[in-house]
Structure 1
């Protein structure tokens, strides 16, 4: 009979790619990992690995078994969580992948709220962009992914995943506090044609979106800085040296900047995604319910 423990080692190997990486992740020795994978191969009576010098790789049969293993392990976790819920309350780790502004506005507040209500339930958060979050969810590396979609075909459709709408988030203009337009109502982007801009890195969705909006307004933005961190971006605006456009949830209230509505602003919808089957574990359902309530409040 196949051992669930060794099946879990197989899924780690399929995700991480090397025996040493699996050993480091699980605090084991490489020789112990190799030994357990060899036993799994014997249990399966199938060639799961092929050797390339001192390295091993999965055969097609090994890849297929890894897919089955993730489903088997997920069902075992569901059964264990159901039993735990019958005994007392939701327990265990709920692994969430999310983009940064949703971590700040949704995930961390929910984690803090649940800590007092369900002390044996723990949220383990990882910052990932939506496409990477969905890949991690499909692999079984996380239990829940928080993603956004501007309804423009950017985010792939996957029938194996179930989406739950959390909230909507418009793009806003971020200005220095003493900017001439800081006290006005909605801002027309064309009014900022002569400004210097700070943006995300080229190739990132938000950067490309802002550039498209500026071009649609009739100008090419002059870029004064590019940052992968919204904190640095907001700090740059705070100095008075540039302007920016960000989703509203990305604007941290600790920075002394002016936030104004953008005329005809694009709006992104924020979703939580979970596997369509099997049904989410009880702990995941509790977290999803709290995320939905938090999103509705926002």
Structure 2
């Protein structure tokens, strides 16, 4: 059985290129590093380093171990982070990572009712677009993630995660004040084929290209941003029109911007994700329950 502490020392020696540099990086003495490498070589049953003159070289066995060391250490690190996350959840602290429009709508509604009913629960909020938010759950950097997917563009959910459907978020087109189509309740994207466009996050941009292609045109994307406020401001300034989720309509901060439904109906699915081992813990269940209630209220709008 390889000792993980010695494996970490070995990885540092390979990365830095010398026992001396590894000792400096790890805060060890050089004899301590040498002692750990010798012990690891005994565990491996063969030398991991040789010297050619004044140069230290990694042996064939060392090269084989080095190829696995980073992955092994990464898995150990992920396990430690997930255990730390579990300890925080048992103490009633839940770290939620959500995309911007959910942070501006679903999360405030959910946290307000949660704290009214359960003031001892503590929620820490992070912001990230998918798939980064799901990666944070997997590595233990957060406990619960809100993510979204478009038809035909949904990424496969890792088997370690439980998926909880929340809502269907209908897409709208954002138009500047004075645009001729503002007078309409809903518009077809083909009617905007000659417009300039402002695109959202990378996943949203891919979806924009897809739904415009279905309408028979390629949008002239002149600007891209994953900042909802910037996107609204660009539309208000007349830079272009944009497609956005209905969730942003409740926090439009530009009087010069109007949202109109898209025909035919285009939606994205919004869901919550947590490690399967954590989803039934009381703190996680409470936060999920209130997020689902907030989503149901939005669904009913």
TM above 0.5, yes or no, is yes
Superimposed CA distance per residue, residues 161-215 of structure 1 (whole angstroms, 9 cap, x where no aligned partner):
11111111011111112211111132111111222221136xx011121122223
Corresponding residue number in structure 1 for 2:127: 127
Corresponding residue number in structure 2 for 1:159: 159
Corresponding residue number in structure 2 for 1:207: 205
Instruction: Report the CA distance shift for 1:175/1:213 in structure 2 as closer, same or farther (over 3 A).
Output: same
Q: Could you list the runs of 5+ residues in structure 1 that have no partner in the other structure?
A: 1-6, 11-30, 82-90
Query: What aligned pairs does 1:220-231 form with structure 2 within 5 A after superposition?
Result: 220-231=218-229
Larger Cα-atom Rg: 2
Give the stretch that moved more between structures: 102-111 or 267-276.
102-111
1:282 paired to 2:282 = yes
TM-score normalized with structure 2 length: 0.71
Instruction: Report the CA distance shift for 1:219/1:121 in structure 2 as closer, same or farther (over 3 A).
Output: same
- Structure 1's consecutive aligned runs of 4 or more residues displaced over 6 angstroms after TM superposition are none
Question: 1:96·1:126 contact (CA, 8 Å) conserved in 2?
Answer: yes
Corresponding residue number in structure 2 for 1:69: 80
Query: What aligned pairs does 1:31-180 form with structure 2 within 5 A after superposition?
Result: 62-70=73-81, 72-77=83-88, 80-81=90-91, 91=92, 93-180=93-180
Question: 1:111·1:122 contact (CA, 8 Å) conserved in 2?
Answer: no
Output the CA distance in 1 between the equivalents of 2:162 and 2:223: 38
Output the CA distance in 2 between the equivalents of 1:125 and 1:150: 24
Question: 1:172·1:265 contact (CA, 8 Å) conserved in 2?
Answer: no
CA RMSD of aligned residues (A): 3.7
User: Once the 2 structures are TM-superposed, how far is the Cα of residue 111 of structure 1 from its aligned partner?
Assistant: 2.4
User: Once the 2 structures are TM-superposed, how far is the Cα of residue 117 of structure 1 from its aligned partner?
Assistant: 3.3
Output the CA distance in 2 between the equivalents of 1:46 and 1:170: 58
TM-score normalized with structure 1 length: 0.71
Output the CA distance in 2 between the equivalents of 1:260 and 1:172: 5
Aligned length: 252
Instruction: Report the CA distance shift for 1:59/1:115 in structure 2 as closer, same or farther (over 3 A).
Output: same
